[in-house]
Structure 1
Amino acid sequence: MKYIIGIVGLFVVLALAWAASSDKKNIKYRPVLIMIVLQFIFGFILLNTDAGNFLIANIAAGFGLLLKCAGEGVNFVFGNMVNDNKYTFFISVLLPIVFISALIGILQHWKILPFIIKYVGLILSKINGMGQLESYNAVASVILGQSEVFISVKKQLAFLPDHRMYTLCASAMSTVSMSIVGAYMLMIKPEYVVTAIVLNLFGGFIISSIINPYTVKPEDDVLEVQLEKKQSFFEMLGEYIMDGFKVAMIVGAMLIGFVALIAMINGIFTWIIGISFQDTLGYIFSPFAFLMGVPWDEAIKAASVMATKLVSNEFVAMMSLSSGDFNFSDKTLAIVSVFLVSFANFSSIGIISGAVKGLNAEKGNVVARFGLKLLYGATLVSVLTATVVGLIV
């Protein structure tokens, strides 16, 4: 029975993506099918062997060392503002963007990132049927994060049409940053974090290929835009450091506004109907949780956790899940856990549009206009990943 429910759930996810497609006649079904098969293969390997988990864990450890280096600079300036053992989002998450931006600038200046863009993009584009830039962006989003990744392609932003911008932003919202994977692993099992990262990479391509199908002409698949004047190393470094700081400030401002608005909506719902907005979403979302493979007697609670992530962020939902109040079965725990490992939530609309706006005001406004469709697609990626895991475990 679980396989029948899971297969039905798989078709429902794809149908929901198809219903929102901007060009149903030009959907490339062959790459979609290939990537779904790859999701099942990688999901099975990662949930039943130690090899993949070991690899991702070591990559995460490497980025953990980079964050420690970033912390040295942040603590030098802001150290006295933070209490011991206290987590501050602005200090711990946003300000390290400045250091990551500087590293990206160095890698760009030394032609290392363009090399990665060319060859990683070439390999993945053969599988997903998209452009090399889209393929690079999806991998870079996992490594660099949903805000920082746009710094790495900031020279190309002005030249990208709206449909390609959607795919880039969808990839960024569908993944998570390697810099915070360690924090996730403290709240949910590492194997679920690793599995979600890999499956979301392909899931982002699958959903975007259906919702936003297009063909990139070879002459339009620009991987590197030549600068009008050649910059010295320190000119470049100063530019990227300031770009990183600008992105951090704008993302912080967007977060304040979006999180406050969500809190207000929760308050209004509680006042009018007696339950919060996210609890209401839990009831609405429960049929989808059931189709992902969650037993019906756990579907409403599981959907409530998922809805918490949707209206706030994955950290809040993971802390709720790890509190031990739900007593979920192993299957439900696996499904909910992988669903939570992405940036698909309302506040990410502000984060991504703010990050792009900090680099290119015109493109930032474009992203803001398709923000809800972006969230819709990224949420379907999480649902697809959870459904695949529900069929595997």
Structure 2
Amino acid sequence: MNYLMAILGLCSIFVVAYVMSTDRKKIRYFPILRMFILQVILAFILLKTSSGTALVESLSSGFTELLDDANEGVNFVFKGIANKGSAPFFLTVLMPIVFISALIGILRYIKILPLFMKYVGLGLQKINGMGKLESYNGIASAVLGQSEVFITLKKELAFLSERRMMTFGISTMSTISLSIMGSYMRLIKPEYVITAVVLNLFGGFIISSIVNPYELDPSEKDELETKEDSEHTFFQMLGEYMLDGFKVAVTVAAMLIGFVALIAFINSLFLHLIGISFQQLLGYVFAPLAFLTGIPWDQAVDAGSLMATKLATNEFVAMTQLTTQNWHFSERSLAIISVFLVSFANFSSIGVLSGAVKGLNEEKSNLIAKHGLKILGSATLVSFLSSIIVGLII
């Protein structure tokens, strides 16, 4: 019965995406089918074998070491600003963006990123049927995160069309970054984190291809711009990227403050008006959706509450509740919920995305904000798609 519901849920996801589509005549079904089959194969490999898990874990460990290096700079400037054993979100999560930005600048300056773009982009393009920049954005988002990825594309933002910006937003919000993968693994099982990262990468392409289909105009640029980098000295470039990173960190912080506070206000408003918070109301709404993922009905309300918590706040809050509270989930339900939680698809991410782009290009930031809810809805469909596939395999 649960597996039948999961298949029904799978069909429902594609129906909803089709209804949301901006141009159904341009949907290319063969690349979508190809990516879906690839998702199933990869999920099987990652959940039933150890080779894929070992590879991603090694990559995660390497990126965690880079963040430790970033913290050296943060501690040098801000040491003593927090109590022992605690540190503000701005310092631990956002300030390392400055260091990551510097690394991005170096990788562009020595032409490694363009080379990465050329081969990985071409390979993914043959699978997803999209542009090379779209393919690059999907990979870079999974490696760098939704704030840092736009720094790598700062020279390309000016010529990206509205539809391409929307696809970039869906792909970016559907992923996480290697920088926080280690933190997730301390809360939920590593194999679920790794599986979600891989499935969400292709899921972002699948849902984007349905919700926001388009064909690239031959006149549109589809390459990383590299000429300007050679016109600057190494240290000029380095200073520029460090300042860009700081600008993005501060802008994202401002957006997060506003969105998190707004959600708290809405929760309070609902409590006063109808006696339950907006987040609790979403939990009841999400219960049938959790049931459609293949979770038994007697566990669906609790699962829906966690899914709604992730949507209304963020994935860390939901993961912490999953870990610390006394739930009675089966291993299969736990896998489905865990995979669903591993993405940036939540309301505050609209502000994060808009803020990250605003620090680099205000016009494109307005496009992200304009389509914010549709981007969030599409990224949430990606989470459902990945969790259902995992539920069918386990």
TM-score after normalising by structure 1: 0.98
Q: Is the 8 Å Cα contact of residues 287 and 300 (structure 2) preserved in structure 1?
A: yes
The alignment status of 1:166 with 2:166, answered yes or no, reads yes
Task: Trace 1:282-301 onto structure 2 (pairs within 5 A).
Answer: 282-301=283-302
Describe the superposition over 1:190-226 as per-residue Cα deviations: whole angstroms up to 9, x where unpaired.
0100000000000000000000001124542421223
Amino acid at match of 2:52: G
- Cα deviation 1:167-205 (Å, max 9, x = unaligned): 111111000010000000110000100000000000000
> Kindly tell me: are residues 104 and 44 of structure 1, through their superposed partners in 2, closer, same or farther at Cα, counting changes over 3 Å?
same
Letter in 2 for 1:194: I
Once residues 197 and 262 of structure 1 are traced to their aligned partners in structure 2, the CA distance between those partners, rounded to angstroms, is 27
Q: 1:57-99, CA deviations, whole angstroms, 9 ceiling, x for partnerless residues?
A: 0000000110011000000001111222214211100000000
Deviations 1:280-331 (A, max 9, x none): 1111111110110110001011000000000000000000000132121111
Distance 1:272 1:165 in 2: 38
Give the equivalent residue in structure 2 for 1:92: 92
In 1, Cα distance between equivalents of 2:145 and 2:103: 13
Amino acid at match of 1:255: L
Let me know the Cα RMSD of the aligned residues: 1.1
What residue number does 2:342 align with? 341
**Distance apart, 1:228 and its partner CA:** 9.3
Greater mean deviation of Cα atoms: 42-51 or 197-206: 42-51
Letter of the 1:231 partner, please give it. Answer: H
Q: What's 2:202 paired with?
A: 202
Partner of 2:61: 61
Match of 2:44 in 1: 44
- Correspondence 1:258-337 to 2 at 5 A: 258-337=259-338
Question: SS at 2:241's partner residue?
Answer: helix
CA contact (8 A) 1:142 1:177 kept: yes
**In 2 relative to 1, CA 105–54 (structure 1 residues): closer, same or farther, beyond 3 Å?**
same
Q: Distance in 1 between matches of 2:215 and 2:145?
A: 26
Name the counterpart of 1:359.
360
Aligned length: 393
| Structure 1 residue aligned with 2:389 | 388
Q: Determine the structure 2 residue equivalent to 1:214.
A: 214
CA distance in 1, matches of 2:83, 2:134: 41
Moved more, 108-117 or 86-95: 86-95
Instruction: Determine helix, strand or coil for the equivalent of 1:310.
Output: helix
Q: Which residue number corresponds to residue 379 of structure 1? A: 380
| Cα distance in structure 2, aligned partners of 1:332 and 1:253 | 36
Alignment check: 8 A CA contact 1:132 1:221 kept: no
The amino acid of 2:391's aligned partner reads: G
CA contact (8 A) 1:23 1:213 kept: yes
**2:101 aligned counterpart, secondary structure:** helix
The separation in 2 between residues aligned to 1:300 and 1:191, in whole angstroms, is: 25
Which AA in structure 2 matches 1:93?
V
Partner of 2:145: 145
Alignment of 1:63-142 (within 5 A): 63-142=63-142
4+ residue stretches of structure 1 with deviation over 3 A? none
**Quick check: 2:4–2:294 contact (8 Å CA) kept in 1?**
no
Matched residue SS, 2:228: coil
Give 3-state SS (helix, strand or coil) of 1:214's partner: coil
- Does structure 1 conserve the Cα–Cα contact (< 8 Å) formed by 2:108 and 2:229? no
Q: Is the 8 A contact 1:2 1:391 kept in 2?
A: no
Corresponding residue for residue 182 of structure 2: 182
Q: Which amino acid aligns with 1:243?
A: D
Amino acid of the structure 2 residue aligned with 1:198: V
**Alpha carbons 1:131, 1:221 under 8 Å: kept:** no
Contact 2:109/2:229 (8 A) holds in 1: no
Structure 2 residues not aligned, in runs of 5+: none
Q: Which amino acid aligns with 1:33?
A: L
Contact 2:141 2:149 in 1 (8 A): yes
Question: Are 1:250 and 2:251 counterparts?
Answer: yes
Mapped to 2, the partners of 1:223 and 1:362 lie a distance apart of 21
Question: Sequence identity of aligned pairs in percent?
Answer: 60
Whether 1:3 aligns to 2:8 is no
**1:333-367 deviations in Å (ceiling 9; x for gaps):** 11110000000000000000000010001111111
- Which deviates more, 229-238 or 137-146? 229-238
CA distance in 1, matches of 2:364, 2:320: 34
TM-score (norm 2): 0.98
* Unaligned segments of structure 1, at least 5 residues: none
Distance in 2 between residues matched to 1:156 and 1:119, nearest whole Å: 18
Query: Partners of 2:206 and 2:192 in 1: how far apart?
Result: 20
Amino acid at match of 1:267: S
User: 2: CA distance between counterparts of 1:33 and 1:84?
Assistant: 52
